[in-house]
Structure formats: C-alpha cells, structure tokens
Chains A and B, each alone.
Chain A
C-alpha cells in the first residue's frame, strides 16, 4: 500500500518530509497504527516483566549473588539464608519423571489419532484429551490428595516397594504423596500438550512417505515408525513444550509433593519441593522483605527457564513444520 502511494522520484529527503506532512492521515493509517501499537504492547509487557522481577528480587540478588542458584540452605526462620538449588533440582527431576511416563502415552495417542483411529472416533478422543487440558490445576490437586494418593499408597507403592525395594529409588516410608506422585500427576497434565502437538506433526507428514514404505511391504506399525522418525523434530518440540508445562505447574504439585526442602529426597516416595511449589506455599507467609525477595527471585529463575524452554520449542516447531511442509510441496 505504502509503496503504491509513493511517487518514484521522491528520493530526496526534503521532498520526502514535505510529502509526509502534506499527506493526510487516512483511516487506514490510523487503524493500522492503533492495532499495531496494541499488538506491540507485548514487548512492553515482557520488558516490564523482566524489569519488575529483577527489581522485586533486588535484595536477595545483592545479598546472595550467584550463591542463590547453588546454595542448598533455605532457612527463613533463623539464619535467613536462601539457596534455590534443591528447588531447581526438584523441579527438573519431577518434570523428568513426568516426561518419562507421559511422553510414551502421548506419542501413542498422537499415533492413534493420526494413523489408526477412524475419523469420528478421533474427534471424540481429541475432545476428551483437550478436556484433560481444560481441567484447572487445583482440581488435579484436589483429586490428587483425596483419590490418587490413597490409591497409589494402598494399591501401587507397597507392591512396587515389595518387588523393587532393593533398588535405591524405592526404600523408606510411604506417605502416598511425594516425588513419584508429583511425577505421575504432572505426566497426566502434560499428556494433552504433547499428544496434541504430536498428532499435528504426524498428520503433517506427507502421505507419499506412508505409501512408499507400505509399497515396500511395511506393516502398519513399521509405517507408524516411519511417520514418527519423519516427524522427529516436531516430536522433540512437543516434548520441550510438555516439559515447559511440567516445570511451571504449581497448584497440583504443591498439593501432592509434600513440600519438604531437602537437597535430595530419601526415595521416590519421599517429599520434595519445586520452584513453583515453594512460591505458592510460602509466599503469603513470607514476613520480611528478604524472604519475599528470595521468593520473587525463584520466580525470576522460573521465568528464564520458561523463556529459554519456550523459545527453544517454538524455534524447533517452526523449523520442523516448515521443513515438513516444504518437502510435502515438492
């Protein structure tokens, strides 16, 4: 639009400026400017977010510096020392358990929806899986406390310990809540994310790929394997996005993990803490500025992990989809 209106000879500066002032601001320009400024507010928002999180944690950044990330002591009551290392570890380990359990199930669902299920059936299943994503985190927590924990304690964990008790992961007392329970709840919560994206990337795989391997005598399962390896990059980004969901998950984890600050739990049945959980659990009880600042700094760390994670995942997804579609077009 802009180029059409601009005369070809107006390349000297003064005439350009004169042009701009003479031109009336049309409705189109105003509308574009309006929507663009609103859309651009996301930059202000993200910038403000970093600024405010840094400002809000200034006291603890000054006092602990890098030790905040490596420190293993969280003692608000007496020495007032705060170190977030165990929290970061707890977040990563529970998320890893969630991926370990949730990803195979999600890939199975993705395959079922893109390769196996009849269309009508697929629509129903997609709706149900999306519903799993729509249920609020706090209801997962409620269900976790009153249904999942008693069930796991009585029917699963005792048996697990009986069979695998010699493995160092499974000794010690069983409370019901704890590391493994959090991992299981997180696994359920990432299934909608990972399975929806993997369904999309599997569906984007061109049919020529399937036909090629089928013509070579591949079984249905071998075809599915080809589809999966073709969509590898998309699957990876689905997993990264699932990881992002698990890392930031707050209420459900707070309610089942046992909220126990320790560098390493005694077993998978022991209590632990995550970054998000400690914010939720201690924020309203933080009584002095350094304590609040430390919790905000935990939020800041979480912000950067989430940012990194999301940027990474989006980049992979964009590249993967372009790659797949590019090949499909050829």
Chain B
C-alpha cells in the first residue's frame, strides 16, 4: 500500500515536471533581445516579440491590484478584527464561495457590467481580475492578522491607544509580511488568467492605447498563438509561457521561503 501511495505522488509530479521542463526546453530558444523589446509580429512576419504584451499585462494587473488590494485589505481587517460581529461569518462564507467561482463567469459579469457600456477595455479586464484577487487578498490578510499575538494588541490597548490605531499600527505592521506574500500570490494568480481577459478585452496586437481600449496580454497571447498555425507565433507562445512560469514559480518560491516558519 505504501507503494500505491507513493505511486500517486509520482503520477502527480510527472505532469508538473513535464510542463516545467517542456516550457523551459521550448521557451528558451525564443527568448532573445527582440522577444523582450519588439511588439507582436503580423502573420507571416518573422521575429518580433511580446514587449507590448508585457506592457499590457503589467498595466492591467497593476490596475486590477489598485482596485482589488485595498478592498481585500480592508475586508480582511474587518474579518479578523471584528470576527465577533455576526455579519463576519456570512462575509467569510461568501468570500469562500467567490474564491471558488470560475474565472470565466467573473469575466462574463465584467462584460455585462462594463464592456456593454464602454467597450472592450483594460478597465473591464482589470475589474474582472480585481474580483478574482479579492477573496485571496481578503483571506490572507485575515489569516496574517490572526497570527499576530494577542499580547501585542493588549499591550497597545493598555497604553491607551484606541483600537483602530492598534489595528493600523500594531497589528498591521506585525502582519505585513503575511499580507505582502498573500498579495504577491494573488498578483501571480491574476497575471496568468486568460479566460476573463478574453471576454473583457479580447486579443490586441498593438501597444497600450488608453484604459478604455484593450491592451495586449501575455496569458491570452499564449492561447491565441498556440492555436494558430504559424511556427513563429507558436514559438512566441512557448517564450511567453516561459516568462509567465518563471514569474509565477519565482513568486511562489519566494513566498514559500518567506513564510517557511509558518508551515509544519
């Protein structure tokens, strides 16, 4: 039986190593200076790169974080500091429910709410990505705050500091590492999202042209390029995948190192 249990482990790790290995293997050959500085080539054109997609992804993810992080932060503070309020457990429950929602449904929601008004745009995509990161930020903020020892808070309150200042200056500064890592994980998650981007922004070949216009997106590019019949585009897809994998695995590894003491 021991054999079967470890067999399960091996079976699960084969795809992981295959994906990572193949992405590195096929991706490295397409990464060069052009790849990082040139925009998407037109069909049939050789060379080119994904610079516009890097720019678009950074802007979209940045805007999404501007919306999602403060909202998630304040929600997390409420859930942890006022967990005795009856509404807290209801909010926590729906937060969990939201975190399990398919990202494409969130994308469709953003389409119905925003795209039907202002058209396919960075704003609509960022809004959907913000909703996707919201439950992650909320949850990690709450958990990080709960790890701050109660004695620290009590000490502050004993000095006559009001509760809200205690939360902001004592609890938050004690939890900032946990909150930062949670936020990083959320950013990594939305940087790789392509389904909501597809229905809110669509594929865009050009540079960023304003928040009410679409922008290129690395993850979505992988989809468009991978199902295209052009060798050049497929090579770009592997290169983009390598960039994404390096960022995401990197963020995960850093987070894991920072929070090592937290795990058994």
A241 in contact with B100 given A31-B164, A112-B5, A119-B264 (CB within 8 Å): yes
B33 within 8 A of A: no
Q: Using C-beta atoms within 8 Å of the partner chain, give the interface range for chain A.
A: 35 or more
B109 touches A250 (CB 8 A): no
A310 touches B97 (CB 8 A): yes
B94 touches A43 (CB 8 A): yes
CB < 8 Å A-B pair total? 257
For the complex, give the distance between the alpha carbons of A1 and B102 in Å: 40
For the complex, give the distance between the alpha carbons of A107 and B13 in Å: 14
B252 touches A250 (CB 8 A): no
A143 touches B102 (CB 8 A): no
B97 touches A311 (CB 8 A): yes
B1 touches A221 (CB 8 A): yes
B105 touches A141 (CB 8 A): no
B131 within 8 A of A: yes
For the complex, give the distance between the alpha carbons of A279 and B114 in Å: 17
Q: Say whether chain A's binding surface is mostly helix, strand, loop, or mixed.
A: helix
Interface residues in B89-125 by Cβ distance below 8 A to A read 91, 93-98, 100-106, 108-109, 111-113, 116
Partner-binding segment picked from B18-26, B47-55, B148-156: B18-26
For the complex, give the distance between the alpha carbons of A108 and B10 in Å: 10
Shortest Cβ distance from A311 into B: residue: B97
Mask for A43-54, Cβ within 8 A of B = 1, else 0? 101101100110
B43 within 8 A of A: no
Mask for B167-206, Cβ within 8 A of A = 1, else 0? 1100000000000000000001101111100110011000
A138 touches B203 (CB 8 A): no
Size of the chain B interface, CB-CB below 8 angstroms: 88
Question: Which residues of B have CB within 8 Å of A41?
Answer: 71, 75
CB distance from A82 to the nearest CB of B (A): 15
Question: Which residues of A have CB within 8 Å of B12?
Answer: 105-106, 109, 129, 132, 188, 191, 195
A220 in contact with B2 given A55-B112, A142-B222 (CB within 8 Å): yes
Partner-binding segment picked from A59-67, A71-79, A300-308, A321-329: A300-308
Question: Which residues of B have CB within 8 Å of A314?
Answer: 93, 96-97
Mask for B68-82, Cβ within 8 A of A = 1, else 0? 001100110111011
- A selection of 16 A-B contacts at a CB cut-off of 8 Å is A36-B82, A49-B109, A108-B5, A109-B9, A131-B16, A136-B192, A138-B194, A138-B222, A143-B18, A188-B12, A221-B1, A224-B1, A248-B102, A279-B199, A299-B104, A299-B109
